[in-house]
Each structure stands twice: as C-alpha cells, then as structure tokens.
Structure 1
C-alpha cells in the first residue's frame, strides 16, 4: 500500500520524460554538445523551456533572489514546511546531457504523476533549477544553492567574469536580486531530495538500479612545489642531479599509495588525484629545476581528510630529500567538509524503492552537489542512477531514460510519504 492509497506503485510518464530530455539536448551551443554554460544566452533558453514546462504542470514559477528558478506546487497547509527537489540545468563544456538536468526533469515527472493521480499535497513542493552548480567563469560553483542558504557574500559578488562583469551583475541578468539574498535565506524547507546521475561506474558494474547516497565528499586542493637545480641533460651526471621532476614523480607515487591505503580502510569514500603537473624550465634537454602539482583530495570522512592532508607534508619532504631537492611550497588552496545525507531520508527512499521492487545500495558521492549546501538548512538526501561506463562531464555521458524514470517513480512515492508522514525534528 503506497502513500497514495493504491496497491499499484505510481509510475511517471516515460514518453514525456524522453521528450523533455530531447528538447533540452537540442538547446546546446553549436558544435559543442551538450553545452549550456551558466549565465549564457543558451542557458536562458533552457530555463525558458523549463519554466514553460513547470507552468504547464500547474506550478507557480519565479526566480528567487539568488537566481534560482523555482516552481511551486502549493500545498493545502501554507504554514507547513516545504518539500524540495531539483538540481541544475547548467553544464560543463561539452558534457551535460544528463548531469544535473536529470534531477530537474525527474522531479517534474514525479510531480506530474502525482497531479495526474489526483494527489493534493498538504506541504508545498518546490522544484528548483539551481543557478550555476558547475564551476562558472567567475571561479565559483553552486552559486544558486549557496545563495539560498546564505553562503554568498560580498567577496563572491565582487568576483570578475567575462568582459569584466561582476558576479552580482551577472546574477541580476539571470533575474536575481543580490541585495536581497541575505534577507531571503530559506528557513521553511522540511526536506530536500535530489536525483542525479552517478557519474561513476559502480551501479552499472553491479547491475543495481539505484544508489542511495550516504554522504557527499569534502574536497581539498593543495599546491605542491619542489625545487632542485636545473642543469644540462647531457652533461650533469645522473648521480649528481637535484632533479625536481624525479622528486615529483616519487611524490606522486607515494601520494597514490597513501590514498589507496586510506581507501581500503573503513572510513568511507576516499580519492586523491594529481591532474596538474608543471616542470620548469620544461625543456627536453634540461634537468628540471622545479616541479609543481595540484593535488585534489576527496573524502567522505573529515578525519580521513585531515590525516591525509597532514601526511602530504611528510611525503613531500621524503620525496624531495631522496632526490637532493627541497619543498618550496605545500599550500592548501581550498577545503570543503564532507556532508552526511540524512539517515531518515535515506531510509524512506529505500522503503519507496522496495515498494517498486528496485534494489539499492549505499553509495558516497565523490562529486560536489547543490544538496551539500541545502543540507545546511534542511535534511537532505540524494538518489543516484547508473552512468553508462561511468562516464560524465564528456559528450559520451549517457543514462537510459528508463533508469531515470525509475528514480522518478521512487521520488514520487518519497515525496507523497513525506507529505503525509513528515520527518520529525532531528534529536
């Protein structure tokens, strides 16, 4: 018996969901599928399409102070906490057919199905397209969700983007009101559930239709600089070199091995990646006199992150010393903390999936999401759907519509259950 009082679990309209995906996929920069960068004209065309579909589904739409597109299905009790779902419609360059948009369209499909079944919620339900979840040309990600929870400040507003435009000015172009953000922080949200593609290979490899996200990893980035002595590649003997390139190679391997060891512990999801390396003077016939790298560290457990960040200094010193070099810098560029998803919401999602006969597994998110910011103001949870080959942020990113529709089925039941059996205040 589901929350709608029917023995048959509610199903969303698969054909309409497919039409929406196809329509948004057609709104892309020419020659760069699937690209709708935030703050651009093509992004606004995508938003116009969504606003029209929101209105057709009976939602009242508006742009909030932070530039988020919000569609509301008004509940019968205007004083009850709001239930919220959604994600983002902006993309990275050449890679956004499903990333983000799956959460918006799945939320829309769930609301359509509930309305078609004659359901009338007590709690209002907000469907949100958060502004600029992906890193923007202003050097900031999750702009809309930051604004919704009061995490945008004057320094952010003063960031400069293309053509010298300030971020606050860009938000105004999107329909937002930066001066009103501080006074419009949401305090009325009772629960938030976001559907998202996994962006990794686990669900597909294990043939599991849904992942229930246990937590969203914290992210740290560290700049490392090792310095030795540049020299002629043909005249400096191997035994007399202070090769910063070799020191960095040692360090990269030791950082990899230490990350593998941490990932094998029982402290949740953990990764470390070096995707940026630069040698100086970077000549084919010159022994490198300096080497720089950026380390990206992601951890579901904050203590695991702390331990690894402390280990970096020791590992850098060991690697540099072994090659006759020195550590010139080990600078922490940024750090965000891990966010645990609400256990009670995870349980409700699992129960809804069971009603639909769908297997699930707990799964951490190594990527950042708007849910991590919304969790500051309300219980939050996420549902992952499989990504073909684990590929994301690339033109080949793909998730079957049926996989997303199944998640939308579960979301519809989760929302109606929350509407009739809301979460008790956390102890």
Structure 2
C-alpha cells in the first residue's frame, strides 16, 4: 500500500475519541455530511456498510428486533439482496448447495490459496441487527473498497455470507460454515426437523439462489477472517476500542434430570421430603460458586429449568435443567465438568434424589492464529486504536476454520454487552473502526503476500 500503510483508513475527523466510554456514548457517525464535499474512500466504504446493515435489518419477520431464520422468505430475500450487491460492486457472485453466498475479488495468481472473510446472516428469534450481519456487511464493503482503490489483488479474496450459524430454526448450528469445512454433508438434512416438522432437506429445496458454484475447498484457504460484535461488556466497560480474539472457548452442554418424590406441600414434614427443585437449586448455586472460584475465562450456566408437576401445593417431583460450561483450554474444561458433575451426584444422594445427566454438546476450544493476531495488533496500533487480547465465550464460524487454516477474529464493542435482543447496538464509529482494520488486514493478505 503506498505511503503510510494504514493512513488511508483513518481520515481526519472520522472518529470521536473515547467512543467506548459509556458516559460519552453517542451515535456520532462519520464526519461527512451531505453538502460537505466528496467523501474519502474510507468514508464511502463506511457509509456503504451502514447502508447494507440498515437494509438487511428490513428482511425480518414482523415483531420486535430482527428474526431471519434459515430458508425462510426473509432469509431468502436477504441472501438474494446480497448477491445483487455483490454484482453491483463488480465482484463475482455465486451461491453453493446450502445457500452460502460468496462475493469474489479475483486475484491475479488464481492458483494460490484464497482469503475468506465474512460471517452469517441468520438470527435468533427477535434478535439484533448486528450479530453476524456486521461481519457480512463489513466484508462486502471492504472488498468493494479494495477493488475500487487498488484493483485486482495478487491473491483472491472472497466475502461469504454463511447460511446459518445460530441453530434457531433447526436443532443444529453452523450449517453454513459446517458445509464448507466438512463438519456436515447434505445427509444430515433428511432427518433434521424444525418445530413445525419441516425437514432441513425440505426447507433447503426451496432455496433458489443463483448462480450456483461449488463451495471453496478448505485445502485452498490461506486464511479466514471474521469481524464481529463482542456480544459482551468487556470492551465497553474497559473503554477499549477493539478486541483481538486469541481463542474461542470450548463448550460442553448437558441435559440433567433430578427426580425426587412429588407429595402434598402441607402434609409432608420438611425432614421427610425429597424435593427435586430444592436439589436442583442447590446444584445451581454450587455450580455458580465453583465457577466463581475457578475464575475467568471459565463460565458455567444453568439456563433452562422445567419443574414438574409445577403446582403451588405440590412438592416438585422432577426438575429438568440444562448445563452450559465453557473454557478456552480443554484440560481445564474437562476437569471442571468432572468436578461439577461429582458435586451434583453428592447433592442428589444426600437429598435422596435420583440424578441423570446426558451430554448434548462437546465443542473443543479453537485457538486463533498467532501471526494474524500480531498483524491485527500492528494495524490497531498503526491506526491509533486501543485494543486488548480476549477470549470469545460465544461460538463463531471462525472456530470451525481454525483447525483447517489460519483464522482470526476482531471484536467491536457491544453497547451494554447486549446481544441476541432488539436492543443490540454498536455506534457507527465503532463499526467503522473494525471495518478499517479489516480492510488493512485484507490488503496485507491479498495484495502484499
């Protein structure tokens, strides 16, 4: 890149210092206003990205927030819109067999491994407008800017809008990136059904995106880069502008059932009860205490409880609950799970209850590439941004690519740490900061290497 490698990405007046300080949070946006003269290339890229985000938010089921479920009409409209934007931006656009959408900035050295960047466009029910969509909009804006400013790269850079990551409609996650990385093949689609009984295969049959082309080969990937909102409160609380992800936590999920004895609430003495809810409550509190004593980055959550018979004058005879445990290192994750389950068993035995625990998910931690982390750190410093290294407690498409190619993630702050909710928010200047760092990294990976 001519001159100062990163100077182009930070025109004067574009950012408001201290925008992560909660007391000064404001939607200042880029300094350019209509009638103020032509925008710089970086300002135009930021405005284009903001426009994509606003338009994508319109593709939603009625109701609060954004609801865009896999293979729904809203999802189809959003992916088709992105294909149109890709074509208008001078990129090569196509979709693969499961509906992942790609925008390719073709490189001069076509035989070399490609750089892939993006995220997903599906949402949770009544979610926000930035989770996933930000990484997609930023990827397209970055490639559009690079093409207009520097022409064809040496190495092909491809933006991707993954079909699905959340698992909101069908009982599986990472359907889009899992198709690319080999986690899934099409055979899973026949038996996987949504709450209405529609199979994934049936829903996918209605996916009429085009043109079609085979998915990229993971053996042909030079790197995968994902820009995302933090979905947590660390960056905002610290007043740090950007987060460079060092690892994505491994995750264990369990389904637990505690069985006691349902009986009359008025006639059963306290010392003669086998109260399933009391046992589950003690397990929940002990889990919290154990996790707090272990410390970061471990987190443990009881997220859902079902009490039976759930009647005011009956001692609960059965409680079903979910258990979610996460840590960035596999040995510590395994050790904590074993400790917690031993404690649960002791509580159940002492209270005269039966306990059954079934594993439901085992995702290994994913380490991000050290070299790419260093590159991101250098770019942040060059652009004058404060940053910190951090572990992602949430799962992301990047964790599927990490074992297969160098992978990197960059976080921007989430206001109040809120995500998966209509209130999900990140100020424009924070979104722009992440975009500019992404542009600089993609330039290095695609034009310089």
- TM-score, normalized by length of structure 2? 0.87
How far apart in 2 are the matches of 1:402 and 1:104?
Answer: 17
User: For 1:339 and 1:412, how far apart are their aligned partners in 2?
Assistant: 24
Q: Are 1:315 and 2:348 matched, yes or no?
A: no
Where structure 1 has 5 or more consecutive residues not aligned to the other structure, the ranges are 423-427
The partner residue of 2:201 within 168, 174, 185 is 168
Q: Measure how far apart 1:173 and its partner are.
A: 2.8
Worse-superposed segment, 146-155 or 45-54: 146-155
- Does residue 84 of the first structure (1) align with residue 116 of the second (2)? yes
Task: Find 1:335's aligned residue among 362, 381, 384.
Answer: 362
Relative to 1, partners in 2 of residues 1:154 and 1:55: Cα closer, same or farther, differing over 3 Å?
closer
- 8 Å CA contact 1:339–1:375 kept in 2: the answer is yes
Return the alpha-carbon distance in structure 1 between the equivalents of residues 440 and 376 of structure 2. Answer: 8
How far did 1:153 drift?
Answer: 3.5
- Aligned positions of 1:369-408 closer than 5 A: 369-408=396-435
Whole-Å separation in 1 of the counterparts to 2:383 and 2:72: 39
Is residue 116 from structure 1 mapped to residue 148 from structure 2 by the alignment? yes
User: Deviations along 1:278-317, whole A, 9 cap, x unmatched?
Assistant: 2222211111222221101111111121012211331112
Contact 2:154–2:448 (CA<8 Å) still a contact in 1?
A: no
The correspondence for 1:273, drawn from 295, 301, 316, is 301
Q: 1:106 aligns with which of 138, 143, 146?
A: 138
Residue equivalent to 2:354: 326
For 1:114-193, what aligned pairs fall within 5 Å after superposition? Answer: 114-153=146-185, 156-158=188-190, 159-161=192-194, 164-175=197-208, 185-193=217-225
Of 349-358 and 167-176, more deviation after overlay is shown by: 167-176
Using structure 1 for the length normalisation, give the TM-score.
Answer: 0.91
Describe the SS at the equivalent of 2:127: coil
* Deviations 1:19-68 (CA, angstroms, capped at 9, x unpaired): 22222222222223312212111111111221122112211000023321
Residue 28 to residue 157, structure 1, CA distance change in 2 (3 Å) = closer
Shift of 1:270: 1.5
Mapped partners of 1:354, 1:385: distance in 2: 15
1:184 CA displacement: 6.3
Q: SS of 2:364's equivalent?
A: coil
Q: Secondary structure of 2:395's partner?
A: coil
Contact 2:65–2:421 at 8 Å: present in 1 too?
no
Residue 59 of structure 1 is matched in structure 2 by 91
The one of 267, 289, 292 equivalent to 2:320 is 292
Distance 2:71 2:133 in 1: 16
Q: Are 2:103 and 2:140, in contact at CA under 8 Å, matched by a contact in 1?
A: no
Single out whichever of 279-288 and 397-406 deviates more from structure 2: 279-288
Contact persistence 1:9–1:356 (CA under 8 A):
no
Change (3 A) 1:287 1:32: same
| Structure 1 residues 141-192: Cα deviation after superposition (integer angstroms, max 9, x where no partner) | 1111000011113652221236544323433433589xx97x9643211001
The unaligned stretches of length 5 or more in structure 2 are 10-41
Please, which moves more after superposition, 19-28 or 76-85? Answer: 19-28
1:412 aligns with 2:439: yes
- Cα distance between partner residues in 2 of 1:354 and 1:48: 37
What is the distance in 1 between the residues matched to 2:187 and 2:82? 31
1:232 touches 1:285 (CA, 8 Å); kept in 2?
Answer: yes
- Which of 211, 234, 243 is 2:243 aligned to? 211
* Secondary structure of residue in 2 paired with 1:28: coil
What corresponds to 2:333 in structure 1? 305
> Whole-Å Cα distance in 2 between the matches of residues 262 and 155 of structure 1?
41
Aligned length: 412
Give the secondary structure class of the aligned counterpart of 1:145. Answer: helix
Q: Secondary structure at the match of 2:172?
A: coil
Root-mean-square deviation over aligned CA pairs: 2.0
Match of 2:253 in 1: 221
Q: Deviations over 1:97-146 (max 9, x none)?
A: 00001001111222222223234310000000001111142211111100
Distance 1:172-1:82 versus aligned 2 partners, 3 A rule: farther
Listed one character per residue, the Cα deviations across residues 243-299 of structure 1 (whole Å, up to 9, x for unaligned) are 1211111111111111112225xxxx2111111112222211111222221101111
Change (3 A) 1:365 1:63: same
Please say if 1:252 is aligned against 2:284: yes
What secondary structure, in the 3-state scheme, does the structure 1 residue paired with 2:218 have? coil
CA distance in 2, matches of 1:164, 1:286: 34
Deviates more, 1:51-60 or 1:122-131: 51-60
> Matched residues in 1 for 2:428 and 2:238: separation?
19
Q: Write the distance in 1 (CA, Å) between the matches of 2:142 and 2:43.
A: 6
The 3-state SS of whatever aligns with 1:187 is helix
Q: Does 1:9 align with 2:8?
A: yes
- Cα separation, 1, equivalents of 2:95 and 2:251: 30
